[in-house]
Structure 1
Amino acid sequence: MLRQRLQQKLLQKLSPQQILLMKLLQIPANELEQRIKQEIEENPALEADTFENQSEDFEGNKAEESPDEPDIQESTDDLHDDFDVEDYYKSEDEIPEYKLQIDNRSRDEERKEIPFSTGISFHELLKQQLGMQHLDEKKRKIGEYIIGNIDDSGYLQRSVDAMVDDLAFMQNLEVKKEDVEEVLSIIQEFDPPGVGGRNLQECLLIQLKHKMKTEDSETLEIAYKILKRYFNEFTKKHYEKIMKRLNITEQQLKEALDVILSLNPKPGNSLGETSRTNQYIIPDFTITNNNGELELTLNTWNMPELRVSQTYSAMLNDLAKSKKRKAEKETFSFIKKKMDSAKWFIEAVKQRQNTLYITMKAIMDYQREYFLTGDETKLRPMILKDIADIVGMDVSTISRVANSKYVQTPFGTFLLKSFFSESMKKDDGEEVSTREVKTILKNLIENEDKKKPLTDEQLMKALREKGYPIARRTVAKYREQLGIPVARLRKELNN
């Protein structure tokens, strides 16, 4: 039976301005510039101005407010204010230009440019070498298709059978499996050595074949046999089995392993270090130690200065005074919408800077001992809620700030979220960070006897002796998080 009734519901909806701010908070410094450029392209009412074109009013305002220390009293409520049309009717004297701009750098601040290296790419190098081969049109197409299926590490990511089918269906080229394998063998002779391997074993064998063409030694032959016949035993470090089956001494095995370990498991990356597009980490924050006083700087070197277009302001003012306002209602509405959007974006960027600064300032103060010394054992247990309570913001906001942001310190550049960790209690009741436990675990493994590496059980006992009551499965979890293999795989032969 259908009924009609009144019902009250309490709903919370985010305004477009809040959504914009949340999205900007997630963007790291190296992506913010592109986001600003995109907004400028989409909104003609938003302009980016160079410092030389700034007004005297703007310079006066900049002297009062340091760009490195944003006004932390400003609230996100500013983004929710309604913009009255009358705001746009005032003359330029009533609206100083600095109110429509965001200050991002000082006149004396050094502007740094990030260098990008250029050169031939990995795949272009392979295609160049393919072009030097005396191949017919059919084999050339096969070669180009094979190169297209080689990843940046130098490995072939497609099986020969699959490539035969692909060439038939996609390029209408009927080929046999033997044709593809023949061209693949040619590509595997290219530089860098090891390229075109279908797995790690084949990649290393290709490199050994290259070496054996110019060198003739028993050590190379033993290394080749190990990779060809006993690759599984090699990966599991069953050295005794290898010595017994090849009837070689421990010294011979060690020399062969030294050759194998000198090979490149990712041959494509050897070229990529200088020729591929480099991925630079641009820190969002910089912390410096000035005679025992920590100083925090927000990275704003690549941010243009934003302002609302004065041309659009004049157009809106003229339309407001025009007697044909009703006839030009759509034009008036369009311009007002674009100007509102530009003003919201400028305010959102400014609020983003404020939020980032006060959040990082709270983290810096909370972990003061670490940032002064660089000693990871000085890191205090810290979760998102700890910082949220200090700055008076929601945990989700702190999470967005910490995500994908980097901080440059005197001890290196680190991902911001790496400073957050759970706590555990020592035997004496002291609360310590789990990162401190990982640091001690890492030190234990680094100083162990590599001929007899410590098992997880032995590592657990060693940690308990130091006052850290930790279970064996927790040791295994921390070890895996540190990227450290099990004891058997850490074993090394005598030097």
Structure 2
Amino acid sequence: MKPSLQVRLSQHLALTPQLQQSIRLLQLSTLELHQEVEQMLEQNPFLEAEEDSPTPESQVIQERSAPTQEESRYDADTGAADAAHEAGVGDPEPVSVEQLDFGAGESREDWDSGHDREDFNSLSDTPAARNGANEDDDSDWSERSTFTPSLPDHLRGQLLGMRLAGEDMLLVESLIDSLNEDGYLADTLEEIAERLAFGIEAGAVVTGDAIDPVEAATMREELIDRLRCALGWLQSLEPTGVGARDLPECLVLQLRELDPSPAQAAAIRICQHHLDLLARRDIKKLVTAVAADEALIREAQTLIVALEPKPGRRFARAEANIVVPDVIVQKAGRGWRVVLNPDVMPKLRINDMYAQVLRQHRSQRGGATNGGGDGGAMLSSRLQEARWFVKNILQRFDTIQRVSQAIVERQKGFFTHGEIAMKPLVLREIADELGLHESTISRVTTAKYMNTPFGTFELKYFFGSSLNTDAGGNASSTAVRALIKQFVAAEDPKKPLSDSQLSTMLEEQGIQVARRTVAKYREALKIAPANLRKDI
């Protein structure tokens, strides 16, 4: 082929560094934003944090209402937003903690009434807790983060009073280090012994003392035997059940702490060999397998329900369940208004002293064109970078507030009556109202949270698909899920509602929902199927 030259005209979008930073800051969560701010404060000397008083920039956020030129340019040229889909979760096999969730102190009626049984975390049973808020939404956020000692620290405190030999103490310490957050032993004794033996052999190599292979194998066997003794000491500590290697062992350890009785013995047999039947609530097979009558099986079930399947649950860090909202919804006359949470807004400013020194340096060098050579140009670039960063932070919070206010205006019914009054809403409606692009709305509503009278929710929570009604209108999928939750809460535990019955009840309310859709919504709500909600 003969080489030739061709001239072509084309258009393409060129994102400036400032616009790229604006897009990136917009999609960051609050935690990620503060990490970004800390990193920028370390790198840029012209940027500093203002801790004492609110900055003028923070007041500008509430006054601004129009998008900037960079934001409008981005909204006109970026692609569409990603869609979010919910997926159901099936029951795992074999029987595990997730299949037999019953929190400490719950009654048998609670277990049988159809509460969440697929997740052992009892905090997930309430909508407010699932969204990171307690029932008391008016309390101070700092009061919710009380200090709780960790499970290893709690166990080591008890270990000090056992007066074990030095080597035995170290072995128990090794087991404590192998516990997961639920209090279960994450590694097998053989794996722990292998690690300890490897450390001993590595130390011997350093000192020049070789270990014979036969001697090494004997040492590993001895370590496993001593670890079994150490495991017994660990499992004698409080909370009862800690150090268990699986769910049956954890439950049996707690049952053995109870007074001996026929129900206790039956409960131990069920936990050791027939947890799968208990998970399926197959009362007839349990009667045969345990060789006990139905009344005794029910007594054994009551004992099992009162156990704690996650001994380390109460030592979990409370901070992990706290979500600090980006915006707060407040009552304003007959309506609602959105204000930014000042606790999550970085208070930044330009260091006036450094900026003044740079200006003087420029004037002494004859202006910005030849002022200071490469060093002056680098400092000027850093100063401009700091100004851009502050401006993009302001734009981020401005956009979040505008989008949140638009959501509140569209979902006024929710703030008065709760989720059952939620209306269908899609990203495009908010985008068209504010003159933004759908992808911008998607970024704003991801990992950003709103504090409401009913709890703290992610902004995406207020968007839902539309379902047809007999009256020709539309119902939000969120409101339909709320109705399903109400139906299940009011059902007869001896005759729980099937997905088909729930679909029929929704149709009686004028909402057309297929049985498979009901099943998807039920699984999203972490409500067990009818056969697992039935009172045995």
* TM-score normalised by structure 1 residue count: 0.83
Q: Which runs of 5+ in 1 are unaligned?
A: 81-111
2:150 paired with 1:121: yes
2:375 paired with 1:331: yes
Q: What is the Cα deviation at residue 483 of structure 1? A: 0.5
- State the partner residue of 2:66: 73
Which structure 2 residues correspond to residues 231-270 of structure 1 after superposition, within 5 A?
Answer: 231-270=275-314
SS of residue matched to 1:267:
coil
- State the partner residue of 1:175: 220
Q: Could you tell me how far apart the structure 2 residues matched to 1:285 and 1:160 are? A: 49
Q: 2:267 aligns with which of 223, 236, 241?
A: 223
- State the partner residue of 2:349: 307
Q: Could you tell me how far apart the structure 1 residues matched to 2:289 and 2:476 are? A: 48
2:512 paired with 1:483: no
1:108-131, CA deviations, whole angstroms, 9 ceiling, x for partnerless residues? xxxx77244335321122233334
Q: What is the Cα deviation at residue 267 of structure 1? A: 0.8
Q: Could you tell me how far apart the structure 2 residues matched to 1:139 and 1:316 are? A: 65
Q: 2:242 aligns with which of 171, 186, 195?
A: 195
Which structure is higher in RCO with an 8 Å CA cutoff and minimum separation 6? 2
2:19 paired with 1:18: yes
Q: 2:328 aligns with which of 265, 286, 290?
A: 286
Asked if structure 1 preserves the Cα contact closer than 8 Å seen for 2:420 and 2:482, the reply is yes
Structure 1 residues 52 and 457 mapped into 2: Cα distance closer, same or farther (>3 Å)? closer
Which structure 2 residues correspond to residues 433-472 of structure 1 after superposition, within 5 A?
Answer: 433-472=476-515
Q: What is the Cα deviation at residue 222 of structure 1? A: 2.0
SS of residue matched to 1:114:
helix
Q: What is the Cα deviation at residue 456 of structure 1? A: 2.0
SS of residue matched to 2:241:
coil
Q: Residue type of the partner of 1:427?
A: D
SS of residue matched to 1:437:
helix
- State the partner residue of 2:451: 408
Q: 2:181 aligns with which of 139, 152, 167?
A: 152
Asked if structure 1 preserves the Cα contact closer than 8 Å seen for 2:148 and 2:315, the reply is no
Q: What is the Cα deviation at residue 353 of structure 1? A: 1.5
SS of residue matched to 1:175:
helix
1:344-397, CA deviations, whole angstroms, 9 ceiling, x for partnerless residues? 0110011111101110111111112222332x2321111111111111111111
- State the partner residue of 1:392: 435
1:431-473, CA deviations, whole angstroms, 9 ceiling, x for partnerless residues? 1111122112222221221112222222223323333322222
Q: 1:161 aligns with which of 190, 201, 208?
A: 190
Structure 1 residues 76 and 269 mapped into 2: Cα distance closer, same or farther (>3 Å)? farther
- State the partner residue of 1:492: 535
Q: Percent identity?
A: 30
Q: Residue type of the partner of 1:491?
A: K
Asked if structure 2 preserves the Cα contact closer than 8 Å seen for 1:219 and 1:255, the reply is yes
Asked if structure 1 preserves the Cα contact closer than 8 Å seen for 2:47 and 2:351, the reply is yes
Structure 1 residues 277 and 428 mapped into 2: Cα distance closer, same or farther (>3 Å)? closer
Q: Which runs of 5+ in 2 are unaligned?
A: 74-139, 203-218
Q: What is the Cα deviation at residue 79 of structure 1? A: 11
SS of residue matched to 1:322:
helix
- State the partner residue of 2:90: none
Q: 2:470 aligns with which of 404, 416, 427?
A: 427
* TM-score normalised by structure 2 residue count: 0.77
Q: What is the Cα deviation at residue 318 of structure 1? A: 2.0
- State the partner residue of 2:172: 143
2:426 paired with 1:383: yes
SS of residue matched to 2:328:
strand
Asked if structure 2 preserves the Cα contact closer than 8 Å seen for 1:79 and 1:347, the reply is no
Q: Could you tell me how far apart the structure 2 residues matched to 1:225 and 1:137 are? A: 37
Structure 1 residues 127 and 78 mapped into 2: Cα distance closer, same or farther (>3 Å)? same
Asked if structure 2 preserves the Cα contact closer than 8 Å seen for 1:70 and 1:357, the reply is no
